Structure 1
Amino acid sequence: MTIQPLIDYIQRFVTLTDQDIEILQSKIFVRNYLKGQYIVQQGDICRYECFVLKGCTKTFYIDQEGQEHIVMFSIEDWWTSDMGSFITQTPADFNVQCLENSELVMFSYDIIEDLYREIPKLERFFRQILERAFVASQKRIVRNFSLTAKEQYLYFREQYPLIEQRIPQYMIASYLGITKEFLSKIKSQLILEQ
């Protein structure tokens, strides 16, 4: 597959010349993962920041009781990794696992540093991506504190309609911080309210 979706995505933020695109293509690579494969596991150092060309991933951590807590899903045109581990090159707090066969553009830590030097506008691009991720994370924290479970589910459905159809309900429940039974109850109430 071509990396054109990545180039299109970057060009929403900065303009790339043909030479920029050539440099970019020479530095990165595309990797295919099978459903169930891990991109990074808790405790390992996250070596890559990944752009999803095709597929779906989940980012989650396992607590001391063995309970899974999903913090993010990523589909086409989204980024995925353990960002904290990637930036600091320290052990990952999160696992990133493929929920479908996936095709990802891989940016290693060293390659991103090279790209910043060779295509300085990419540093601005990645800063903007990080800023957006930080804002989204902050807003999610506020929603978790201020919205009911039903309101959080409605927000999830409205914001991510393409994800809900692709993942099991128990994973949506984990993302929302509720049980799958409670999510079923919410969905039943919504059907009755229609």
Structure 2
Amino acid sequence: MHLLRQHIEKIVPLTDSEFDYVLSHFSTRKFRKHQFLVQEGDLVPQEFFVIKGCIKSYRMNEEGKDYILQFAMESWWISDFEAYNKHTPATLNIDCIEDSEVLCLSYENREKMCDEMHKMEHYFRKISHSGYIALQQRILSLLSSTAKERYDKLLSQYPTLFQRVPKSVIAAYLGVSRETLSRMV
């Protein structure tokens, strides 16, 4: 079964013809390791569903330090959602940690699909809420947990991430230096 269909059907069931209709709204793209899907300042006409690979979204400060907002692996969505929804320039960079394949969904196609198919409107509402909850938990964790507690939680939630992502990138996500991370593991 198609990975996107599996993901959608965790929330809403689809017939074969409904899934064909949904899939017709996407395009497929492949990106190489370190290739950008989105760069800060660009318009963001698409959101991305990861079929294969590992991707990160981040912002870089004036000194070149990365602040990683999100990772996305297979079956995860990623974009600069503010820029995508408001049609404004990106404030984030999104690039590939590994060679990746994604399904791209334009804002117009998502809106059209949701207007024409209540099931997909329900699906996108549910995943938006899940994303909001995850972001809220991440912020609270950054505010109230120690670096070691954040590391342990990330490791328990996503153990395969640690085989796929360099330690320096994990450290940036946790908000610690590479040296601090090395002392924790």
Give the TM-score normalised by structure 2. 0.97
Trace 1:37-76 onto structure 2 (pairs within 5 A).
37-76=35-74
Aligned to 1:24: 22
- Aligned-pair CA distance for 1:68: 1.1
The worse-fitting range, judged by mean Cα deviation, of 74-83 and 15-24 is 15-24
Aligned to 1:136: 134
Task: Write out per-residue CA displacement over residues 135-178 of structure 1, whole angstroms, 9 at most, x where no aligned residue.
Answer: 11011111111111111111111111111110110000000000
- Residue among 63, 79, 84 paired with 1:86: 84
- Residue among 97, 101, 108 paired with 1:103: 101
Aligned to 1:152: 150
- Residue among 116, 119, 129 paired with 2:117: 119
Task: Write out per-residue CA displacement over residues 34-80 of structure 1, whole angstroms, 9 at most, x where no aligned residue.
Answer: 11111101111111111100000011001122211111111111111
In structure 2, the residue corresponding to 1:46 is in which secondary structure?
Answer: coil
**Aligned equivalents of 2:74, 2:24: Cα separation in 1:** 22
**Unmatched runs of 5 consecutive residues or more in structure 1:** 188-194
**Aligned equivalents of 2:66, 2:24: Cα separation in 1:** 38
- C-alpha RMSD over aligned residues: 1.1
Q: How many residues align?
A: 185
- Aligned-pair CA distance for 1:16: 1.1
**Unmatched runs of 5 consecutive residues or more in structure 2:** none
Identity level (%) = 38
In structure 2, the residue corresponding to 1:116 is in which secondary structure?
Answer: helix
In structure 1, the residue corresponding to 2:59 is in which secondary structure?
Answer: strand
**Aligned equivalents of 1:149, 1:136: Cα separation in 2:** 18
In structure 2, the residue corresponding to 1:71 is in which secondary structure?
Answer: strand
